Each structure stands twice: as structure tokens, then as C-alpha cells.
A and B are shown apart, each in its own frame.
Chain A
Amino acid sequence: MLKIKDLQASIEDKEILKGINLEVKAGEVHAIMGPNGSGKSTLANVIAGREEYEMTSGEISMNNQDISEMDPDERAHKGIFLSFQYPIEIPGVSVTNFMKTAINETRKAQGKEEMKAKDMLKLIREKSELLEIDRKFLSRSLNEGFSGGEKKRNEIFQMAMLEPQLAILDETDSGLDIDALKIVANGVNKLRSKDNATIVITHYQRLLDYIVPDYVHVLYQGRIVKSGGKELAHELEKRGYDWIKEEVEA
């Protein structure tokens, strides 16, 4: 589904990603871990197409189609979704209206008709129940005055609404207490299928107890320096990142 080859990217001429190779197939969950500043969020943003990051070399393709020149909205239409580490507050646009616009723009780009109001309401009701979101919350301005937990739950709600093929969860666990974490993880797990895939970006192993990865990759200094199964996450939890750093430097 997603293929990344020798991806190098920089921001304001500062090189962050120094050659990433990654392949994510349908049905898989990949975890990307690593110490702060290793380039995890940059990778997420580059895949989603953020303009501030310049891709200096390499390839990114989605379902064998090169997406490296596409705008973020076009990538979204191809099925990529990024759950933000710090969701943006947009005063004046309600969660519901934002979702309606996003869904209908996506459908338009995919050559489908707009979703009927009745179906939209049904979908909103169904997905908000999945994330245990109070209906009142949906008429509030997007993320404005939301608590950290509400913001993250709202991200996964948006993901549930848009049903992406590839979801990238950037530090979705940060700022969540254990109850909120369970709700979010439960939501993500219920959305998993053999046709979609998830990339979980996290500093800590905690989230991976709930969203169990098939593969774990360790990102350090802009490179994937180690890959393994879910046991690698446990090892990192026990031993920290220092031994990885030492291995790399040796």
C-alpha cells in the first residue's frame, strides 16, 4: 500500500530525514518509535504532504502511485489520514460542519455524489458512539477549548468518519489518561480491517499494549536503525533508547 524509498527531507535547509525505507501492506500495523527529535513527526508530516517540509530525494507511493508531488488534500483523497500530535483549533467551524465538508470534498474528488444529509447524520451518530463522544460536542467549534483527551478523541472520530486506507497516528497517546487511551485505542482497533493499515508513531510503549503492532521500527537521527516485531517495543520500554544509540554509534 505505502512504499517509501530512500526518503530524505529537510525543513528550512536542515536535514531531518536521511534515507527512510518503509513498506506498509494492507492489514498491517507498524509502530515507529524513537527518542525525541529523531524525525518521527517529520516523517508523518512528509507522508501527509506538509509544504514546509521539502522532500530532497526518494520516493513515496500509495497503491503504486507516486504521491510525492501531491497536495495534502489530494493525498487525503488517496486514503491517507494523519492524526495530529497537536490538533489545530479552528474557531467558528463546528466539528459537524468540518466533517461534512471534508467528506463531501473527498467524495467529489473520488467522483462520487455528495452524501445525503440523512446518511451523514447516521454516520456521525454511529461514529460518535464508537468514540463515546457526546453529541453536544459535535456542534462546538473544532478543537476550540477542547481538553487534550477530547482533541485526540476527536482526531480518531474524524478518522472513523473518513475511513482512510492508511492512518498515521502521530503521538496520539500524549496527553491522554488511561481511560481516554482505552477509548481511543478501542476506536482504532474497531476500524482495523484487512484492507487498511495503521502507522502508530509513539515515544512510549504504553499505547502499543492496546494497539498491537505487527512491526516496530526505531527511528534515530533520521534513519530507521532497527526493526522487529512487537517484542522490540517491550525491550525499548525496559531498556530505554540508549543501547540503540550506542549500537548506532558503534
Chain B
Amino acid sequence: MSFKDNIVSSFIALENEVDTESYVHQLRNKALADFERQGIPMRKEEAYKYTSLKSLFGKDYTLFPKKETAIEYKDIKKYLVHQIDAYRVVFIDGIYSSHLSQTTHDKFDVCLMSSALSHPKYSSVIQKHYNKLAGNDGLSSLNTAFAREGAYIHIKKNIAVEKPIEVVYFSTGNEDHLMVQPRNLVVVEENAQVQIIERHQSLTDNAVLTNVVTEVFADKRAMVDYYKIQNDRLNASLIDHTNVEQQGDSEVRLHTFSFGGALTRNNLYFYQRGEHCNSLLNGVTIIEGKQHVDHSTLVHHTSPNCESYQEYKQIFDDKAVGVFNGKVLVDKVAQKINAFQQNNNILISDKATINAKPQLEIFADDVRCSHGCTIGQLDEDALFYMQSRGIPKKEARALLMYAFANSVLESVKIPEIKARITKLIALKLNVEIGFDL
């Protein structure tokens, strides 16, 4: 059975379980039609020129996992940024795990998408925001057609959430070739603040494919600080669609740390809809073997006096492949914006590849847009300097790469994340950093 046929028959099965009369189901029907029309993106499409999904989707996936396997806190503890006192929304094989989670409806809502999609209390927010930003491309549509669960985060006006919200999706591998479609909605009202950490983690070596869609709405003067930790096993692949809409004077910062997984595709789209918006998109990628990480970013400047800042530092070893497709679109009215994009890559092995494509489409005439892309080896002068202090070449190289990648972490605001990512980078590069930074 082809992937598409499998999807259609799975959708029929889904309809037995959900309310087919609901508003959300109308969206599902439309999304299924959109998916059927477009299917899985092919390499002939410009956006997927360097990332082939053919073999990934050539497998026979199950869309409905078996019932939740018993997972205890000790099994997942190491994947949590547990030093932080955090709100936590944990999913096991796509199903919410109440005993591993800590949610709240206190001053704001950190809860489940399934409740939000079915409960009348949430219907006005859902009708206003749900699926309003997500694309209608094949893969986003696939998610919309099947999405039932995920994190629903709604922060009311003037509320600053005092601890980070951790959203973690585990797959137990009780079934091979599982495909999951998590769906997150983040609505941050005027002058509200929130920090979010998102992670997808497989617990066994069975193959899993995650196709996740997240919509983030940042209202006026809102602040969103979002971290994606991608350090999954090599049997796991991730296709992430994150869409962000910002109103005036809002600030959204998104860090993506990509170390694990077989194939990772990040579609990160920012839409600025008011003046004085600030968008930050930072990333560190360190991969090896046959890993593949693709960052496709878009920042759409539709209003004057805004800023966007992108910095991606990437290191590729062995036969690893990287793609950086960074697009900045500046409308004619978006005068006096400042858009910065920097993409620096180090190829350690002769067989590693980076496909870098910065794209600037500027229709305004009074703007500052800069972009830089480097692909290189390490600085010989710096290596000599370090060696002259007694640091052997191998260690000097590792330390330099560590420093190269670590510089992105300066913009990380959660100290526990910074420490953890620093350690991960050190581990990845075999640097013995036995001290605090």
C-alpha cells in the first residue's frame, strides 16, 4: 500500500474515533484533501531540492500507536531539563501522560490540545488561532488531518510565566515504524511572557517519524523564548513546522539545537505583523555519520522598524549532510527594518556536505539587510596559538569547534539549558569540559 493510500484508509479509521461534526473536523477534511492533492514533497520542488523524503516515506507507517506502555519517571528523567522547576506536558506515543506531566489552569492554561479541541471553553481561541498560521503544504496538511494531541499553551494578558514550560514527546517503540503528528498551539496575549522547551525523544531503536506542527501567536509586547532540543536516536526522524506570528513590539526568540536523529527538517516561518517586532532565530547543528539536518527559515517583514536576527553555527563530520535555506522577505512598506542572517559551517570530513542558500527578497528601499555564509576549516593561527600554550592539536581543534558552536549560546536565557547544551556540544566534540562556564 502506498503512503497516500495508507493515509486515506487511516483517516477513515480516525473518523470512527472523533466527533466528525466539529469545527476542527471540517479543518481535517480540508487538510486531507490538500494532502491528497499534493502528497509528500519531492526533490523537484525547490524547497526540498537538497532533502529527499522518498526513502523516509517509503516505509509502512502505523498512524495509531498501541496503548501507552508503562513509562516511569526514572525512564525519562534524563531527557528532561529536570534541574528546572518547570511546567511539563509529557506525551508517550502521542498520548498524554498525566502522571508524568504537571499542567495548570491557574493563571494561564498549559494543557492538552485534545481538551482544547473538544471543550467549548476553548472554542473561541481555537476558532481564532488554530490552523490559521500553519501552511497548507502536503506535510502540514497531513498533520492537520490527523492531529489530535499536543500542547495547548495560552498565556493571558500581562502574565509572565515564572517557570519554563517543557513539552516532551516520547516514543516507546512498542511498534516499529510509527508516525506521529503532534500539534502545538501557543497563544501569548499582550504583554505576556513565556519560555518553552520542546523535545521529541525515542526510547528504543524502532523507527519513528514525527511530523509536528506548532503555531505561535505573540500579541503586542509579548515575549516568547522557545528552545528546541533535537538530540534523538538515529532511528528517529523529525519534520518540524513552526509558524510564528508577531504583533507590534513583540519579541520571539527561537533556538534550535540539532545533534541527533536520522533526518531532521526544520521549517521555521516568522511573520511580523506590526512595528518594532524583534525575531531571533539561532541554531547549533553538530552531526556525523549519515545524519541529515535541514533548516529552512523564513522571516517575512511586513511592517516598518522591525528587526530579525539569525545565526546558525554548524559542524559536519563523516558523510553528514546539512541544508540551510534562509529566506528574508521584506515588503515594500517594511522600511527601516534591520535583518541579519549569518550561517557559518565547518566541514570536518571531506565527505561531509553543506548546501547553503541564503535568499533575500527586498522590496523596500530604506533597510539594512545583511547576510553572510561561510564554509570552512578551522583558523590555523588560532590552532598555533593554542598549541603554543601546550594544548595538543587534536584538543585545540575540538576546543575551537566547541567555541565556534558555543558562541550561539550567549543568547540562551535559561541557565540550565545553556549548561546542558554546552555539555552536549562538549560531548559531541570530545572536549573535556570538566568545569563550569
Which residues does A use to contact B, with CB under 8 Å?
A: 48-52, 71-73, 75-77, 81-82, 84, 87-88, 90-94, 97-98, 100-103, 105-106, 109, 117, 141, 158, 162
Output the nearest chain A residue to B408 by Cβ-Cβ distance.
A92
Q: Is B406 an interface residue (CB 8 A)?
A: yes
Q: How far is the CB of B5 from chain A (nearest CB, A)?
A: 51
Q: Tell whether, in the assembled complex, residue A93 and residue B388 are in contact, meaning their CB atoms are under 8 Å apart.
A: no
B384 at the interface (CB under 8 A from A): yes
- Which residue of the partner chain, among B385, B391, B400, B407, contacts A105 with CB atoms under 8 Å? B391
Specify which of B385, B393, B402, B437 is in contact with A87 (CB 8 Å cutoff): B385
Contact B384 A50 (CB under 8 A): yes
Q: Are B387 and A76 in contact (CB under 8 A)?
A: yes
| CB–CB A105/B390 < 8 A | yes
Chain A residues with CB under 8 A of B389: 73, 76, 81, 98, 102, 158, 162
Chain B residues with CB below 8 A from A77, complex form = 390
User: Does any Cβ of A come within 8 Å of B395's Cβ?
Assistant: yes
Min distance, Cβ B421 to any Cβ of chain A, angstroms: 13
Contact of B73 with A by CB under 8 A: no
B-chain residues with CB within 8 Å of residue A90 when the two chains form the complex: 382, 385-386, 400, 403
B404 near A105 with CB under 8 A, answer: no
Q: List 20 A-B contacts (CB under 8 A).
A: A48-B388, A51-B384, A73-B389, A73-B390, A73-B392, A73-B393, A76-B388, A77-B390, A82-B388, A84-B388, A90-B382, A90-B385, A92-B403, A93-B402, A97-B435, A97-B437, A101-B391, A101-B399, A109-B392, A117-B435
**Contact between A73 and B385, CB atoms less than 8 A apart:** no
Residues of B whose CB lies within 8 Å of any CB of A are 379-382, 384-393, 395-396, 399-400, 402-407, 433, 435, 437
Q: How far is the CB of B346 from chain A (nearest CB, A)?
A: 13
Inside 8 A of A88's CB, which chain B residues have their CB? Answer: 379, 381-382, 385
In the complex, chain A residues whose CB is within 8 Å of the CB of B435: 97, 100, 117
Return chain A residues, CB-CB under 8 Å to B400.
90, 93
Instruction: Give the residue of B390, B399, B403, B406 whose beta carbon is less than 8 angstroms from that of A76.
Output: B390
For residue A98, give the distance in angstroms from its CB to the closest CB of chain B: 7
Number of A-B contacts (CB under 8 A): 82
**7 nearest A-B pairs in the assembled complex, by CB-CB distance:** A92-B403, A76-B390, A72-B387, A106-B390, A102-B389, A88-B385, A73-B387
Q: In the complex, which residues of chain A have a beta carbon less than 8 angstroms from the beta carbon of B388? A: 48-49, 72-73, 75-76, 81-82, 84
Chain B residues whose CB sits within 8 angstroms of the CB of A141 once the complex forms: 403
- Decide: A102 and B384 in contact? CB cutoff 8 A: no
How far apart sit A93 and B399, CA to CA, in the bound complex (Å)? 8
Q: Which of B385, B392, B405 contacts A71 (CB 8 A)?
A: B392
A93 B390 Cβ-Cβ under 8 A: no
In the bound complex, CA of A162 to CA of B437 (Å): 21
Residues of A contacting B384 in the complex (Cβ-Cβ under 8 angstroms): 48, 50-51, 72
CB distance from A113 to the nearest CB of B (A): 14
A94–B437 CB distance below 8 A: yes
- Select B395's contact among A76, A81, A101, beta carbons within 8 Å: A101
> Quick one: closest B residue to A51, CB to CB?
B384
Assess whether B391 is in contact with A93, with CB atoms less than 8 Å apart: no
Additional A-B contacts beyond A92-B404, A92-B405, A97-B437 (10; CB < 8 A): A52-B380, A72-B387, A81-B388, A90-B403, A91-B403, A92-B407, A93-B400, A94-B437, A102-B389, A106-B390
> B403 near A102 (CB under 8 angstroms)?
no
Pair A92/B395 contact, Cβ less than 8 Å: no
A93 to B402, CA, bound (A): 8
Pairwise interchain contact B392-A105, C-beta atoms closer than 8 A: yes
Closest to A143 in B: B385
Residues of A near B437 (CB, < 8 A) are 94, 97
In the bound complex, residues from chain B placing their C-beta under 8 Å from that of A101 are 391, 395, 399
Note all chain A residues with C-beta closer than 8 A to B395.
101, 105
Q: Closest residue to B402 on the A side, CB-wise?
A: A92
When chains A and B are docked, how far (Å) is the Cα of A98 from the Cα of B387? 11
What is the CB-to-nearest-CB distance from A198 to chain B, in angstroms, rounded to a whole number?
16
Check B406–A92 contact: CB distance below 8 A: yes
Contacts of A73 in B (CB 8 A): 387-393, 396
Q: How far is the CB of A141 from chain B (nearest CB, A)?
A: 8
- 8 Å CB contact of A102 from B390, B402, B405, B406: B390
Q: Which residue of chain B has its CB nearest to the CB of A120?
A: B435
A109 touches B390 (CB 8 A): yes
Q: Which residue of B lies closest to A168 (CB)?
A: B388
Would you give the shortest CB distance from B380 to chain A, in whole angstroms? 8
A224 to B127, CA, bound (A): 85
Shortest beta-carbon distance from B386 to chain A in Å:
8
Residues of B within 8 A of A51 (CB): 380, 384
Nearest B residue to A82 by beta-carbon distance? B388
Partner of A91, one of B385, B393, B407, B433: B407
B344: shortest Cβ distance to chain A, in Å?
11
Residues of chain B within 8 A of A100, CB atoms compared? 435
Measured CA separation A72–B381 after assembly (Å) = 12
How far apart sit A73 and B394, CA to CA, in the bound complex (Å)? 11
Residues of B near A82 (CB, < 8 A) are 388
In the bound complex, what is the Cα–Cα distance between A42 and B387 (angstroms)? 17
A193 to B392, CA, bound (A): 28
Given contacts A48-B388, A97-B437, are A71 and B393 in contact (CB under 8 A)?
yes
A52 neighbours in B (Cβ, 8 Å) = 380
Residues of A within 8 A of B403 (CB): 90-93, 141
Of A77, A92, A141, chain B has the most CB atoms within 10 Å of the CB of: A92
| Interface-central residue, B380, B382, B388, B437, by most chain A CB under 10 Å | B388
Expressed in whole angstroms, the minimum distance between the Cβ of B239 and any Cβ of chain A is: 31
Q: How far is the CA of A6 from the CA of B382 in the complex (A)?
A: 29
Q: Name the distance in Å between B166's Cβ and chain A's nearest Cβ.
A: 27
B354 to chain A, nearest CB (A): 20
Contacts of A81 in B (CB 8 A): 388-389
Which residues of chain A are within 8 angstroms of B390 by Cβ–Cβ distance? Answer: 73, 76-77, 102-103, 105-106, 109, 162
Measured CB to CB, the nearest residue on chain A to B431 is A101
Complex Cα gap A41–B392 (Å): 23
Residues of B within 8 A of A109 (CB): 390, 392
* Best-buried of A72, A87, A109 by chain B (most CB within 10 Å): A72
A177 to chain B, nearest CB (A): 24
CB distance from A70 to the nearest CB of B (A): 11
Task: Name the residue of chain B whose CB is nearest to the CB of A100.
Answer: B435
